[in-house]
Every structure is written in C-alpha cells, then in structure tokens.
Amino acid sequence: METKMINLKINGIPVTVPEGTTILQAARQAHIEIPTLCFLKDVSRMGSCRMCVVEATGARGLVAACVYPVAEGMEVRTNTEKCRQSRKMTLELILSKHKKKCLSCERNHSCELQRLSLGYSVDEDRFKGEDFVLPLDDSTPYLIRDNDKCINCMRCVNACKKQGIYAIGPIGRGFNVHIGSAFDRPLVESPCVGCGQCVVDCPVGALSEKSNINEVWAALSDSSKKVVFITAPSVRATLGEAFDMPIGTNVEGKMIAAIRRFNPEAVFNMDVTADLTIMEEASELINRIKTNKPMPMFTSCCPAWIKFIEQTYPEMIPHLSTCKSPQQMFGALLKTYWCEKNNIDPASLFVVSVIPCTAKKYECAREEMKGDVDVAITTRELARMIKTAGIKFTELPDEEFDNPFATATGAGAIFGATGGVMEAALRTAAHMLDGSFEVLDFFAVRGSNPIKEATYLVAGHTIKVAVASGLDNARKIVESIKSGEKKYDFVEIMSCPGGCVNGGGQPTLPDSVRNSVELKEARAKALYSCDNTNSYRRSADSPTIDIIYNDYLNFPNSHRAHEILHTSYKPNPKI
C-alpha cells in the first residue's frame, strides 16, 4: 500500500513527510531543531516535559512536537514568543527543585538542562521550591544516583524498561515524585545489572558512573606502583567525540599518545586479549560440540549479561562459556605472565582498564576475579583525565601501543560491535574444524538488528548461531531456547543495544545529535574499518597469540590457561 504523504510548512518552510510523522521529526527535514528533554529517539517519547511545545494550525494551544502528528496544510511555528516563554517557565520550574551544583557536576558543559537554561536566559531562582534532600544512592560499585539533580524526565526509567530490567521507576506523586527502586530500596538490592544505559540517556547529572579517577591519579603518583593501562576495542571509535571530533573517528593513535602523557609503565592493546578470548572460546565451543556438553554455549564477555543470567536464569549458567572477559584475561595475564617475564612483583602492578562500560567496574570487584584488574574507568573518565591534565588531544601525534601486547587482529577490534564476538569466534572455530576453511566475513551476524540468526556448514558440522543485543532481546532468545522453539550451538549476547560502541560508559552527546544520528552504526563502522585494513583478521593467525601460548599457556584450554583465563559463575553473586 502506497504511503500517504503530508504537506505542511514549518516556520514558512515547505515540508513533505509520510503520514504519521510527528512535528518534531518533520522539523528536522526543514533543518530546524526543536528543544527536548524527555524525548529520546528509540528510548522515550512521552510529551511530558513540555520543552518541545510549538504552535500549529488546527491545534488548541501549544502542542508537544515529539508526539503531535502532522496534518495536511498544517502551519507550524516553533519559536514564537508564546513558545519561548512557555519553555522558559518550564525550565525555571524545573530549576526550582534542582540541585544547582553545576561547577562540580559530572555533566558540567554537557548538560542539556544547562544548555537550554543558557539559551532561554532563565532566572534560576525565579521560583523557590520546597527544600528537601533525597539520599544519594552510591550502593553499587558502578553507579551513583543523585535524585536532587533529577528532573523526572523518565528517560532512565524508559531505558531500563526497554532493557526489560525494570530496576527503577517513579515513586510518590506530584511535587514529591522521585525515581528509585521498589520500596525505595538501594539500587544494589534491585534487579539492576549495571549496563549503564540509564546513565547515557540521562540529560543531566542525576546519574553518573562511580568514578575511579582519583585512584588512578594516586597510583600514577605512587613510586611503588607500576601502572599499566589497557584499552578496550570500542574506545578508539568513541573517545574523539569528547573532543568534538566527528562521530566514528578512529583515534587509536591519539588515545595512546594521550595516556602515555600520564607517564604510566605501559599502554597495552586489549584487542590482544579479545583474540585470546576467541582462542579459548572457540576451543571450548568445539569441545562442547564434540562431547555433547550443555548447548548452546553463550558468550561471557559482557558482565551485565552475566549478572542478568545469574539473577534471572540461574538454570542456564552451565551454558555460559567459562572464559573470562578480555578485560579480566588481560589483568590476569599481566599479573602472571608479564610480571614473571619482567621480574615484577604482581603486588606492585596497578592495572587500569579503559572501557566503554559501567558494568566492568562491577566485574573488577567480583569475588571470582578480584585483583585481576585494579580499576576500570569509562571512556568518559579517560576524557576527563585528558582534559584535566591539559593535554591537547586533537593536536597529538599518533603513537603505537607498547610491546609485547601491541599487535592484534581485526577480529579483536570488532569485539566492540554487536555480532563482532560471534564473527571473530566463527573465523577461528571454522578454521580449527577445517583447516582449509578460509571465509573471513560472516555478514549475516553483522549490523545493529536486535536479533540475528545464521546457519553455517563447517567440516560436516551444522553450526546454528544467534546474536542479540539489548537485554530484553536476550530474554527473548533465552526463553525461545528454554521452550524448545529454537536450537542453537552458539549465542552471543551484549547487554547494550548495538554492543559496546553504545555502552553505558561512552561519551554523552547532545540530544540534537542522539536524536538525528545513528550512533551505533557510525561507531561500529570505525571498528570494521580496523578489521578490513588489518594484516591479520583471524585470531588464530596473531603472532602475539602464538608467543603467549608458546611462552606460557601451552595451548588453548590447557590446564594453565584454565587456571588463569577461565572462571565460574553462580546464582545471585554478592560483591
């Protein structure tokens, strides 16, 4: 059926859009950005904050552009005096109960409320709300909630709902409404898994990661410590955004150069242990296929997904790969192999992981792996450190990772995108099963579709795989397996929609960007470019991996490899 097109004018500019389009969407076609606070593409569409109000013919009074549909012949005006005064009053009412600690706020200079307040010349003290102080929730190892900064836009609630976790929601009514967990209990007692999607979706500073920056500075200043930085695959594709560089810019060389100016012992490439994860995981998969161990096998790189399984589907724990994540593998390898090779006391080594994820902070503190990595800092935290240190990021020359952990494969780089772990594992597993299998590109598992399936025939084995990103989609996959509806051999799950490139620790961008740019695709493109231009595209072909096994681990899934690189999981773990 042919889509009906609607003709209208926005600020006098003719626009033609499909029927059902909202005024907010139509305005972008006229290159007009209507301000928003509660609206966020693919996450929240409520029309509750009233920042996007406009005047439109055929409507009574001001209407919310984010939910109001266009009509034939409609004329919309977005910046009338009535619109501007309404928005200004809305902001002043929000500020009447907002903790205005902008100078020390994590979101200073990147806060949507701050940006709009400046643009509309608000009087932040025009209305005096009732003073009350809500308790700061810092009960988890990864997140801080400051409800005195919350503007009740509900974006965090909708993000959690979209993930299918429902850890938070509105409590109370009217002026006293606030966001919290059931019965106002601390977040640590909720089903929260630490994915951090609520943090990147919050337009203000009500949610932030629990920062480890001070610990890193302290370690760097301690002469008894040898500080090593390890950087995750997707950080190279997003760090530049914190310095106003185009989305999807690969800043690997500048990232290394910036960290080196902190004067650490070394800067290593976590893509190396992504390759190591693949060697261990592919070997484990083949062993499971041949010995009829619990199938399908689930990937275990994402700590939020692991926590989700432990809390929600403990009966599926035997299906999890026993491999540690690349972050934890690297920490364990550094404090064993690297320390032994360099006569370093492991107790003096301080490992800093730079990661696109808030749940990785929780992973560092897990009882089973505590001590592998000392602290994990997000991409945002690294950007703050670079700025604080006075490093002119965009002017830096490109530098290279330190040996012996500098060279990795393209398979390691694509770990940061949904489907990347699956594709990397398939490249090596297929080659292990059939040495003449040379296919390197598995296009069916690529892309940001929330659920992907594929079937491959390798050395007489039919391998059925599935990929899911976003925990609500993970739930669908697990339920289909439990019911017998679906049968897979290998399943990749990433908690964040689109994978680590869209992780909860990535840079916060203005709503105008987040609502108009496909971030997941642009960031993932940078990683696949790294893969396509790499001399090595299969983890099994990595010369670094050869050295690690020949020098220390012997072979994939060896006894020593299991001691250092593998772990176990249990229902409802406690930190």
For the chain, domains (ranges, CATH) are: 5-79 (3.10.20.740), 97-206 (3.30.70.20), 214-565 (3.40.50.1780)
Told to judge if 284 belongs to the known catalytic residues of this protein, a careful annotator would answer yes
Q: Is residue 131 over pLDDT 80?
A: no
Told to judge if 568 belongs to the known catalytic residues of this protein, a careful annotator would answer no
Question: What is the reported pLDDT for 473?
Answer: 97
Told to judge if 363 belongs to the known catalytic residues of this protein, a careful annotator would answer yes
Told to judge if 486 belongs to the known catalytic residues of this protein, a careful annotator would answer no
What does the block give as tokens for 54? Answer: 């406009």
Q: Is residue 181 over pLDDT 70?
A: yes
Told to judge if 153 belongs to the known catalytic residues of this protein, a careful annotator would answer no
Q: What are 448-481's pLDDT values in tens digits?
A: 899 999 999 888 889 999 999 999 999 999 999 9
Q: Is residue 404 over pLDDT 90?
A: yes
- pLDDT category of residue 575 using cuts at 50, 70 and 90: low
Catalytic option among 106, 281, 310, 492: 281
Catalytic option among 44, 321, 448, 495: 321
Question: What is the reported pLDDT for 78?
Answer: 97
Q: Read off the pLDDT of each residue in 411-421 and give the average, rounded to a whole number.
A: 96
Q: What are 16-54's pLDDT values in tens digits?
A: 999 999 999 999 999 999 999 999 998 988 888 999 999
Q: What are 311-341's pLDDT values in tens digits?
A: 999 999 999 999 999 999 999 999 999 999 9
Identify the sign of the CA torsion 424, 354, 546, 297: negative
Q: What are 241-253's pLDDT values in tens digits?
A: 999 999 999 999 9
Distance CA 145, CA 135 (A): 9
Catalytic option among 106, 241, 252, 284: 284
Question: What is the reported pLDDT for 295?
Answer: 94
Catalytic option among 301, 302, 357, 530: 301
Q: What are 353-393's pLDDT values in tens digits?
A: 999 999 999 999 999 999 999 999 999 999 999 999 999 99
Catalytic option among 315, 340, 368, 438: 368
Q: What does DSSP assign to residue 22?
A: B
Task: Calculate the alpha carbon distances from 390 to 352, 395, 428 in Å.
Answer: 20, 12, 43
Catalytic option among 38, 357, 500, 530: 500
Q: Read off the pLDDT of each residue in 125-148 and give the average, rounded to a whole number.
A: 89
Q: Read off the pLDDT of each residue in 406-420 and give the average, rounded to a whole number.
A: 96
Average pLDDT, the chain: 95
Q: Is residue 290 over pLDDT 90?
A: no
Q: Which of 196, 206, 41 is nearest to 114 (CA)?
A: 206
Told to judge if 360 belongs to the known catalytic residues of this protein, a careful annotator would answer yes
Q: Read off the pLDDT of each residue in 494-518 and give the average, rounded to a whole number.
A: 95
Edge-to-edge strand list for the sheet holding 451-458: 297-298, 490-494, 461-469, 451-458
Q: Is residue 130 over pLDDT 80?
A: no
Question: What is the reported pLDDT for 439?
Answer: 86
What percent of the chain is predicted at pLDDT more than 90? 90
- Start-to-end CA span in the chain (Å): 56
